[in-house]
Homo-oligomer: A and B are copies of this chain.
Amino acid sequence: MEKVKIGVLKCGNIGTAPLFEFLLDELADRKDIIVRCVATGSKMVAEDVKDALSSILKFDPNLLIFISPNPAVQGPAKAREILLKNKIPIMIISDATGKRLKEEFEKLGIGYIIVMGDPLIGARREFLDPTEMAIFNSDIIKVLAITGVYKIIFQEIDRLIHGYKADLNPKLPTLIIDADNIRDQSDFKNPYAKAKAMAAYEMLKSVDKINNRACFTEKVKEKYISLVACAHEIARMAARLAEEAREIEKREDTLVRRPHSKKGKPKIKDKLMLSPTLDEKTYQKWLMTTKKETTTRD
Contacts and interface: CB of A to CB of B under 8 A. Distances in A.
Contact of A253 (B148, B190, B257): B190
A241 B233 CA distance: 8
Interface in A1-45: 10, 12-13, 18-19, 21-28, 34-44
Contacts of A39: 21, 35-39
B257 A28 contact: no
Contacts of A231: 199
Interface in A171-199: 179-180, 183, 190-192, 194-196, 198-199
A141 B19 CA distance: 11
A276 interface: yes
Nearest to A21: B41
B42 A123 contact: no
Contact of A195 (B41, B42, B233): B233
A130 B258 contact: yes
A46 interface: no
Interface residues of A, number: 107
A259 B125 contact: yes
Nearest to A246: B135
A39 B7 CA distance: 10
Contact of A229 (B26, B27, B123, B191): B191
A25 B37 contact: no
Interface stretch (A90-98, A103-111, A265-273, A286-294): A265-273
Nearest to A221: B275
A142 B21 CA distance: 20
Nearest to A195: B229
A230 B195 contact: yes
Interface string A222-261: 1101110111011011011101001010111101011111
Main secondary structure of the interface of A (DSSP, over half): helix
Contact of A129 (B123, B246, B258): B258
Given A127-B257, A237-B203, A42 B25 contact: yes
A260 B42 CA distance: 13
Interface in A137-194: 137-139, 141-142, 144-146, 148, 150-151, 154, 179-180, 183, 190-192, 194
B43 A196 contact: no
A198 B12 contact: no
Contacts of A296: none
B230 A198 contact: yes
Given A129-B257, A190-B250, A234-B241, 17 more contacts: A22-B42, A22-B130, A37-B38, A38-B38, A125-B275, A126-B273, A127-B257, A128-B259, A129-B259, A131-B258, A138-B145, A191-B225, A194-B226, A195-B233, A198-B233, A199-B231, A229-B272
Question: Which 6 A-B residue pairings sit nearest by Cβ, starting from the closest?
Answer: A35-B41, A195-B229, A134-B145, A18-B18, A28-B42, A199-B233
